[in-house]
């Protein structure tokens, strides 16, 4: 991260993985207008206590490297950005040629294992993501949201139906692409690719009118 190496183990307990891997299969969405926000909040609340080994690892790095607020956030987000992208589908994964979307087809042709299927709502809960390291956009944003919430950040998840994507936002002094929500300003952050800095989005997804804050920690 900016030339600074950080090392730690992304670990969850086997018993916690076994207990939580299917917990979203019993989740029933209510008629609340914020469908995704409520789903993400359920995951973060349920999985959070079982990510204590992750929290402790990041806290040890925080203390040993004497990181400030932004440096710590950059360390956490760049760690998750570094995990290779995988599709998480509600239905079964198919052969690459079965998809009309060229972006899906191209990724699966190069990496047939970069897909996990039959996952409720098409998103892995944080504990399962750490266990198998297969995560798409909102699988990552929920994990980052859960981690940074633990460290008292004002963190948000922003979704776009137009772009069919999910990113995070931080209410922190920063510049770049931002979204206002309930009187606060969240600087947006891409989490699915390496080297994206806070406030910088892909040129094909940077129109902030298409982004909506669906969940905040504060």
User: pLDDT tens, 64-120?
Assistant: 999 999 999 999 999 999 999 999 999 999 999 999 999 899 999 999 999 999 999
What residues are paired with 169 via a beta bridge?
156, 188
Tens-place pLDDT, residues 185-194: 999 999 999 9
């Amino acid at each position: 991260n900016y030339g600074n190496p950080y090392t730690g183990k992304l670990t969850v307990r086997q018993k916690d993985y076994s207990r939580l891997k299917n917990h979203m299969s019993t989740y029933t969405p209510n008629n609340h207008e914020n469908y995704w926000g409520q789903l993400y909040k359920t995951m973060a609340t349920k999985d959070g206590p079982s990510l204590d080994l992750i929290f402790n690892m990041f806290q040890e790095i925080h203390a040993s490297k004497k990181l400030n607020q932004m440096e710590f956030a950059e360390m956490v987000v760049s760690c998750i950005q570094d995990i290779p992208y995988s599709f998480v589908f509600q239905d079964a994964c198919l052969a690459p040629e079965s998809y009309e979307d060229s972006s899906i087809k191209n990724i699966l042709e190069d990496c047939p294992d970069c897909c996990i299927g039959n996952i409720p709502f098409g998103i892995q809960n944080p504990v399962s993501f750490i266990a198998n390291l297969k995560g798409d956009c909102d699988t990552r944003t929920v994990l980052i949201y859960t981690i940074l919430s633990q460290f008292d950040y004002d963190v948000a998840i922003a979704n776009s139906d137009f772009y069919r994507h999910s990113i995070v936002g931080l209410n922190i002094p920063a510049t770049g692409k931002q979204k206002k929500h309930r009187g606060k300003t969240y600087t947006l952050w891409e989490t699915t690719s390496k080297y994206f800095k806070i406030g910088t989005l892909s040129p094909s997804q940077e129109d902030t009118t298409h982004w909506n804050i669906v969940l905040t920690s504060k």
